[in-house]
Every structure is written in structure tokens, then in C-alpha cells.
Amino acid sequence: MALIVLGINHKSAPVEVREQLAFNVKELREAADQVFSHMSGIDEKVILSTCNRVEIYAHVNDIDDGLASLKRFLYRYNEIPEGTLEKYFYQYTLDAAVQHLFEVSASLDSMVVGEPQILGQVKSAYDSARSVRATGKVLNQLFEKAFSVAKKIRTETAIAEKAVSISYAAVEMATRIFGNLEGRVVLLIGAGEMIELAGKHLVSHGVKTILVSNRNYDRAARLATELGGSAVKYDEFQNQLVNADIVISSTGAPHYVIKKEAVEQAARHRAGNPIFFIDIAVPRDIEPSANDLQNVFLYDIDDLHSVVNDNLAEREKEAEKAREIIRAEVNSFVSWLDRLEVEPTIIAIRKKAEEIKTRELQKTFAKLKLDANQKQTVEAMASSIINKILHDPTLHLKNQTSHEPEHHQRSIAEFMKDLFNLE
């Protein structure tokens, strides 16, 4: 028996290939049923499908047969000619399979290291597999361990603490200027994805007063409602500059939508209170010379990219700490798995010894006239002899699995079966 992983991800395949193999939530359950209905040699299986990866984790009788079966399944289920996607697949077995799942769950294998969404997606995939009884003792233990490892990494490292999106970096820079953002007034100009994300980050940092302005007033109103703010007509937003502590703009306009003169006029009426502009538009929305004004802080998208790059470097340092945690946890899980693999042999040896003891005691008691106490004493002595004889072989079987390659583990287990004449 062995653990295997077969998959594709954002590093091995373009999006058009990943789309061909992607599963929705309903299909995950159907697929799990199909694998077990039509394939032998696969004891347990979990399918993980996200926008960046499709992976199958399985506990199989034979590694090569298992990987071949999973490939056939992916081709046939998705009605793709067999062999056409071979160059995009990757595969992991044994210890490497365990390590891969731990790294995926901890977001070390993500497009953005440290992003939090992947752990929820792994949990959802596991729940789907369990709902159709596609998992068992091994994968249940593996995935539960993966979740605890991911939690440990979040607790013991700062891998998720640095902003690595432009929108979040904008909020991080605002906190550098103002410290606590509670009580600050924010003006958002535009209503696209980056503005929406920035607005949500600001709300999570305690901002209560958000104004949203966009050429399409209905879009501005919808976003303002989502953020618990107010919409401002596009031709009136410049009147709000005087009230805004933070202005974030991303309109897609081909010219400056905020000129230096408008900023200067607003700043003059703010009694020395700073005003913070973040221009995440390309072409830029805010005239760059506005940054020369007193108590005005203007950052553009290049400034934010610099923050993101610095934070990515910091995350990579934390990722190395996370990998050290994973290496130790992989060794721990593999030791458990190895002991699990030899348990049937240990149980069979002890069962045979107990059967021999019972037969021999029956023969002995038939020949000797012993009372109940004497029989109990003889039986206890026989049990003690068996325990002492089996103690060293049992320890050897359990302990050698932590230090030997898998083929050697199997050879020792097979040797013990032959040695004790086990069927």
C-alpha cells in the first residue's frame, strides 16, 4: 500500500488545460463514486479542484497501477483523448506525497505564498470525499494532520501577515501614515475589482465612513451599499476631497481626474490635517505634482509594487520556517503510516502464537491433574514466555520502518511472514 498524488497546477499547466480537468462541487462527489465503482486497487481518494490546481490524492495497492488508473479516469471522465495532457501532469509518491499536501494546505505551493483561501478549499475537497465514503483510515489521518500543520504554521510564522496584493498594500501604506484607521473618512473613485478589494480591506481595518464615486452611479451605489458607505455623483466627488483623509482612485480614464489645483484647494481647508492619495490607475488618475504639496502624500502603483515585492521577500523568509515545520511533521506522519503498514503482520504473528499456546495448554492440561489455580499459573507462564519471545521482533518491525526505504520495509514484513509461516 502507498500514498500517491497526481495533478496539474498553475506552474505545470496553462489555464486552458486546467479548465479541461476542473471539477465543481457536485462533480467532486460524482467523480469519487466513479473512481471506486470502476477501479480496483484504489482504497481511498480525495479530489482537490481549484482555479489553480486539480489533484487526486489516493491510497493504492500499487504505485504504478494507481497512477495509471487515475490518469485514465481523468481522461475518460472529462472526455479527453488519453495521453494528450501527459506533459502537464506531475506526481508524488510516499513521503513526497505527504509533503506536497502539507505544502498545499499551508499555502506554500500557491500562486501567492501565504494566501488563506487554499486551506478552506482543501477542507471542502476532503469533506466532499468523506461524504461519499471515499476516504478511510489513512487519508482521514493525512488530511486532519495537514489541517493541523497549516494551523501550526499560521500560528508560529508570519507567512500571512504581509500585504501581497496591490489593494491590500494600499491599505497597509495608509496605516503607515495614520496608524489607526478608525474614524478616518475614505473616498473611493472608481468601482472596479481593485477598488472593491481596497474598500473591503479598509472596512476590516475599522473604517466606518466610505464614499464611493464612479461614472456609472448605479455601480457606485451598489459598492457603497456593500461597504456600508454612501455614493457620490461623479461630477461632485471633487467637493468631497476636503473631507477625505484617504483617497484611492482607479478609474481607467485617459487623463488626470484629480489635478494639483483641486488637491491644493482641499488641503488648504483641512487645517493641517494630512490627506493621503493612492493612485492605482494606469494611466494615472492623480497629477503627480500634487505630491509636492504640504501635508499631501501621494503614492502610485509603482510605489505599491515596491511594497508588495518587499513583502513577498518577507513571506519567503517565513516560508522557509514553515518548510522546517513541515519536514518534521512529514517524518512524524510517515512513521505513523509505516507502523500502520506492519500492524497486520504483527497482529498475525501474535494471533498464531496465541493459537499455538492455547493448543499446547489444552494438551498439557489433559495430561496433568491441575487445579484451577495451578492452571492459571501455567497459563500465565505461557503468556509471559510468548510476550518475551515476541517483544524484540515486534519492536524491530515497528522501529525499522522509520529508517528503511519502503521496498526494504516490505521485504522485512514479507520475511517475517515467511519466518512464522503466516498465510
Catalytic residues: 51
With residue 155 as reference, give the H or E element that holds it: helix 137-156
Residue 54, C-beta contacts closer than 8 angstroms, at least 6 positions apart: 7, 8, 9, 18, 21, 22, 23, 47, 48, 74
Give the separation between CA 210 and CA 73, rounded to whole angstroms: 51
Give the distance, in angstroms, between the CA of residue 209 and the centroid of all CA atoms in the same chain: 34
Give the separation between CA 233 and CA 215, rounded to whole angstroms: 8
Residue 163, C-beta contacts closer than 8 angstroms, at least 6 positions apart: 169, 171, 172, 307, 308, 311
Cell of 75: 481522461
Answer whether 318's CB lies under 8 Å from 154's CB.
no
Sheet holding 230-233, edge to edge: 230-233, 209-214, 185-189, 246-249, 275-279, 296-300
Answer whether 224's CB lies under 8 Å from 230's CB.
yes
Answer whether 109's CB lies under 8 Å from 150's CB.
no
